[in-house]
Structure formats: C-alpha cells, structure tokens
Amino acid sequence: MLLKQKGKQGAVILSLNGELTIDTTLTLEKAFKKIISENLRKVIIECRKLEYVDSSGFSCLIKFSKNLKEIQGTVFFISLTPKVRALFAITKLDSAFKIFESEEEALGEFSGY
C-alpha cells in the first residue's frame, strides 16, 4: 500500500493506494501515530485508489478514529470505490464513519468542528 499525505484548509488528507491488509497496516499506523502526536484533529482519508480492506485494516481505521476522538478530532472518508464501499457496508462501518464523495464536500463539513 502506498500512502501520500498533504495538508489543505487545516485538514490532513491521506491518500491510500493499493490494499489495506495485515501486511500493510504498519505503514498506516505510523502515519496515524504522527497525526495524533502532532495534535492534528481534522483528517480525511481519500480512498480513490484503495482496492481492498481486510479485517486488520478496518481494525486499524477504527482504532485511529477512537484515538482521534480522544483529542476531539474526527476522520472523514472520501471517494470510496464501489468495492471498498461494499466492504464498508458489509461490516456496517458505513454507518460508523462519515463518508463523502469529494474532498470539497468533506472540507466543507469540517466547518462545524
């Protein structure tokens, strides 16, 4: 899995590329720890090129969301592929996370935080 990070309008945007599995969660966990340690509270995870998420990948995302909430932060997901959106639905995480179609839509939602 490849990971790119950028900042925009006070938010951190992480773009995921490839598969989020037990073999690749360490890369994401390191990025998440850095975000938490820097007290960054607005995070968008862009999933346009994310091909698959397994149970350990979902566990990593859930843990990050909980850690972010502890510092009054929030995470939004954008641009899910149909396959990844189906995985979110199967696991019922589509109701646990806020999912948007675009970066602009998610950034606009942060105005309430």
- The pLDDT of residue 111 is 75
Where helices occur in the chain by DSSP H, the ranges are: 25-37, 55-70, 82-90, 103-109
pLDDT in tens, 9-33: 999 999 999 999 999 999 999 999 9
Given pLDDT bands bounded at 50, 70 and 90, which one contains residue 1?
confident
pLDDT in tens, 50-94: 999 999 999 999 999 999 999 999 999 999 999 999 999 999 999
- The pLDDT of residue 113 is 62
The CATH number of whichever domain residue 51 belongs to comes to 3.30.750.24
Q: Mean pLDDT over all residues of the chain?
A: 95
Residue 35 near residue 43 (C-beta atoms within 8 A): yes
**What is the number of structural domains in the chain?**
1
Residue 80 near residue 49 (C-beta atoms within 8 A): no
pLDDT in tens, 38-52: 999 999 999 999 999
Tell me which residue range forms the domain holding 66.
2-112
